[in-house]
Structure 1
Amino acid sequence: MLFNSIHFALFLPIVFFLHWFLAKKNLKLQNIVLLFSSYFFYSCWDWRFMLLLVFSTLLDYITGIKIHESPNHRSKKFWLWLSIGINLGFLGIFKYYNFFADSFASGLALLGFQANLQTLQVILPIGISFYTFHGLSYVIDIYKERLQPERDFISYSLFVSFFPLLVAGPIERGTHLLPQLVKVRTFNSSKAIDGLRQILWGLFKKIVIADNSAEYANTIFNNSDAHSGSTLVIGALFFTFQIYCDFSGYSDIALGTARLFGIELLRNFAYPYFSRDIAEFWRRWHISLSSWFKDYLYIPLGGSKGGVWMKIRNTFIIFIVSGFWHGANWTFIIWGVLNAVYILPSIISNTNRNNLEIVAKGRLFPTVSDFFAIISTFGLTVFAWIFFRANNVSHAFNYIAEIFSASLFTIPSFEGDTKSLVTAILIGLFVLIEWLGREDKYAIEKLGMSWNKPIRWGFYYSVVILIFLFTGENQTFIYFQF
């Protein structure tokens, strides 16, 4: 069930009614409604993987209690590693087994040996990377005594499988979400209206910007051999806006939907394409994953407290793991390594926290230096996205080689290039709106609040009309594959 589908448009009001009008102020009933709605939501993808979700939930629920009740450190460690081992084991089998088998066979072939290793003919359970990390953060936080185990199984199950975040995040923490699930929620109309506004903006980003950008990005990337360097640059730019609006659009819909039920989820994006350096970009892109790796991998490895070589090692580890988390393909690993190379100078020189506030805060325009810093950071990001989007490593290198050829200075041409001008104009409009709203949680949170009511509502209706005009075949969200 896609957020941008008619099925979800019917599903959401029903759950909203059951939660607020049937359950009213009964906490247990509220959570039961949301839990079974979440299981139904997940079952619409493939009911067979419900068993895996429930097993993962039971595993971490039990091990969390066992860790807390263990009489000594050795016992705590046993239950912790049991949870980590089983969770990562399932993730490894479903997501990475074929990658390692194929890579091992290819390595043996280079040495002159032939190996016929069996691969698994299974589909990746949707959301497994996300709900696995929910559970891991929960048991690790209990082990580190940051969190008490949740004894109510309904509440804990809802923490893992709450439908807005179940299949593509944000990756929640028990310390943030669980306290909201164990107290009665009362309806707040202003929060609900704010949630609807964020859902609207998320749908605009997904349907109007991401899906239309995807059409031209796919046309160019899938036929890159037939296009000039200038056209390939256009393709990379279309994909750059596709992936941002696709994933941040999903996150906006997820956060807005949760707010309809009185629940606040972690923010996942904070205008990353307005970043002035790569360190700032990674504080603003997929925030819940970046902070997860920082707290549960980078800091335990020593973070930036050691010598230069430890900083280098830890930086590369976290970005390689981040790349690998995104998918079992060498292109993702190279993408991770490339971002590590980008960020390493600022890590070594301790300048990685120079830009903590949003650019040009309180001003309409950035300074000249900030403007060029944004452009250069954006250019590095676009270049890295080529590896993320390419089918394989050779495809990525061939794509880049053509960009840096003489054909870069030709006029771009591809199927639908005239029609794509409309999408380019909409992207420009989108960037303008994001810039004007960059100091808020999402671009239209406060935009237009000071306008006359007819103008403000005219703006909202214009967004709705654009969504309906550009609604075509429902496109799945990119991060569902991760």
Structure 2
Amino acid sequence: MVFSSLFFTFAFLPVTVILYYSSGGSFTTRTARPWVLGQHLRNIVLLAASLFFYAWGEPAYVILMCISIMINYCIGSFLDKDNTGRRKRKLWLIISLVFNFGCLAYFKYFGMLIGTITSVSGWNLNAAAPALPIGISFYTFQALSYVIDVYRGKIKSQKSPILFALYISMFPQLVAGPIVNYADIESQLADRRVTLRKFNEGLHRFLCGLAKKVLLANNIGLLWSQVKAMPSTEISVLMAWGGIMAFTLQIYFDFSGYSDMAIGLGKMFGFRFKENFKYPYISQSISEFWRRWHISLGSWFKEYVYIPLGGSRAGKWKLIRNLFIVWFLTGLWHGASWNFVIWGLYFGTLLLIEKLFLQNRMARWPKAFRYIYSLLFVMIGWVFFEFSNLTDALSFLRVMFGLGGTAFIDNQAIMKLKTCVILYIVCISAASPWPKKLALSFKRIHPNIYKLAANVYYCALMFFSTAYMVGSTYNPFIYFRF
């Protein structure tokens, strides 16, 4: 089940909201606390809804997720016992790491391993890769962060199996993040309040994310799908750049839209999730881009891989080693294909160059040049991300830089790009903070008119998003495969 579907929007979500709030009373005031039994019932309803949500698309693999919940819950409890010695604590941590990474490796990377061995050795290994459980990369990383933080003594283990199961399986962030650290919502699991105002804020955030996904990502993605399907010998330079720009916008609105929906849904049920995107395409360096893009994943690798390896504190050579380990793993996390590893190492190399050579010099570059530099290298990176075949990626890059022997511009490119020029303008504007800044400025000057305009705006988002979901069959979700 995906958020951008009619069943979720008009069946699953309304029923879940009704059951959730009828089980624990209505909205609370700013000072009132929900009664304890009502909060417990709400958690049970939300857990049941989350398991149903996952079972809708993965009826078999919901068992795998429940096993993961049970094992990590038990290990967290063992780690938190006063009589658990240092050796035993380390053993329990190793068991958790082996189990979690073992599941991830088998279900996500078994096919990649078999394919690599077959292509390198020529052996014909008749071993079918298992189907990839949706969201396994996200909920596995959440479970790992919980166990590691209990082992470090940063948090206490969760005593309630229901609350721990809810943390791992909560449907707003289950299949596509953001990756939520247990410490960030520990208190919210047991005690949270929702006012009508906060519920409306969550609903509005959900509608904005839904519109990003179905109105912007899907429509600009259609153009990219047409360009990608064309032979490289028939693509002009202008068409190649227009196509990769379309994918650059598609993946942003696709993923950030889903994150917006997750954050909005969380707020509707009383949870506060951290932001996952902060206008990454206005970055003036690759380092800044990765501080703004998929923030929860970057924070996870920094906290649990980069810093434990020594970060940048142990000298230049260890900095190089640590960066390449982190970005090799970051690429591998995104998919069981070597193009993702290349994509990760590509960005690791750029970040290393910035840290060692460009960090001080870049401050003296003109701001416009820094924007162009950042966006150019990000778009090149998306080519490696999108093409699973390295030969196809390199062929497309050759066309982009006029080395493919094709024309710089042709009638087909002019026609396609001309029909999409308004869509490009809307998408580029929406990927910047300026519309929000203008809206807030207008709100300060004309608060009453702003309130009326905002209500009309959200109703329009709902109407047009629904019309698109009813009338269109093109509704891909890029990060579903991760």
| Global fold match (TM > 0.5) | yes
In the aligned structure 2, how far is the partner of 1:17 from the partner of 1:429?
Answer: 36
CA contact (8 A) 1:205 1:246 kept: yes
The question of 1:77 aligning with 2:90 is answered yes
The question of 1:383 aligning with 2:380 is answered yes
1:117 match: secondary structure: coil
Report the equivalent of 2:425.
Answer: 428
Which residue among 317, 329, 334 is the counterpart of 1:321? Answer: 329
Residues 413-432 of structure 1: CA distance to partner in whole angstroms, max 9, x if unpaired? 26xx7466454423322432
Displacement of 1:408 in angstroms is 5.7
Displacement of 1:254 in angstroms is 0.5
Displacement of 1:351 in angstroms is 3.5
Q: Which amino acid aligns with 2:410?
A: I
Displacement of 1:274 in angstroms is 0.6
Report the equivalent of 1:249.
Answer: 257
CA contact (8 A) 2:150 2:157 kept: yes
Which residue among 115, 119, 139 is the counterpart of 2:127? Answer: 119
Displacement of 1:19 in angstroms is 1.4
The question of 1:97 aligning with 2:83 is answered no
The question of 1:4 aligning with 2:4 is answered yes
Displacement of 1:475 in angstroms is 1.3
In the aligned structure 1, how far is the partner of 2:377 from the partner of 2:305?
Answer: 25
Change beyond 3 A, Cα 1:312–1:368? closer
Displacement of 1:373 in angstroms is 1.1
Change beyond 3 A, Cα 1:383–1:408? farther
CA contact (8 A) 1:329 1:392 kept: no
Q: Which amino acid aligns with 1:215?
A: L
In the aligned structure 2, how far is the partner of 1:188 from the partner of 1:420?
Answer: 46
Q: Which amino acid aligns with 1:223?
A: M
CA contact (8 A) 1:278 1:342 kept: yes
In the aligned structure 2, how far is the partner of 1:457 from the partner of 1:91?
Answer: 44
The question of 1:42 aligning with 2:39 is answered no
In the aligned structure 1, how far is the partner of 2:177 from the partner of 2:20?
Answer: 22
Residues 222-255 of structure 1: CA distance to partner in whole angstroms, max 9, x if unpaired? 2242322321111111111111100000000000
Q: Which amino acid aligns with 2:412?
A: S
Percent sequence identity over aligned pairs: 35
Q: Trace 1:401-412 onto structure 2 (pairs within 5 A).
A: 401-404=398-401, 405=403, 406-407=405-406, 409-411=408-410
Instruction: Extract unaligned runs of 5+ from structure 2.
Output: 26-33
Change beyond 3 A, Cα 1:467–1:375? farther
| Structure 1 stretch displaced more, 367-376 or 45-54 | 367-376
Displacement of 1:2 in angstroms is 1.3
CA contact (8 A) 1:331 1:393 kept: yes
Q: Trace 1:83-482 onto structure 2 (pairs within 5 A).
A: 83-109=96-122, 115-183=123-191, 185-225=192-232, 226-348=234-356, 351=359, 369-404=366-401, 405=403, 406-407=405-406, 409-411=408-410, 413=412, 418=415, 421=418, 423-437=420-434, 446=440, 449-450=443-444, 451=446, 452-453=449-450, 454-468=452-466, 470-471=468-469, 472-473=472-473, 475-482=475-482
TM, length-normalised to structure 1: 0.90
Report the equivalent of 1:363.
Answer: none
Displacement of 1:72 in angstroms is 1.6
In the aligned structure 1, how far is the partner of 2:324 from the partner of 2:454?
Answer: 47
In the aligned structure 2, how far is the partner of 1:233 from the partner of 1:382?
Answer: 9
Report the equivalent of 2:71.
Answer: 59
In the aligned structure 2, how far is the partner of 1:98 from the partner of 1:51?
Answer: 22
Q: Which amino acid aligns with 1:218?
A: S
In the aligned structure 1, how far is the partner of 2:266 from the partner of 2:41?
Answer: 17
In the aligned structure 2, how far is the partner of 1:276 from the partner of 1:230?
Answer: 24
CA contact (8 A) 1:230 1:412 kept: no
The number of residue pairs the alignment matches comes to: 460
| Structure 1 stretch displaced more, 369-378 or 389-398 | 369-378
2:134 match: secondary structure: coil
TM, length-normalised to structure 2: 0.90
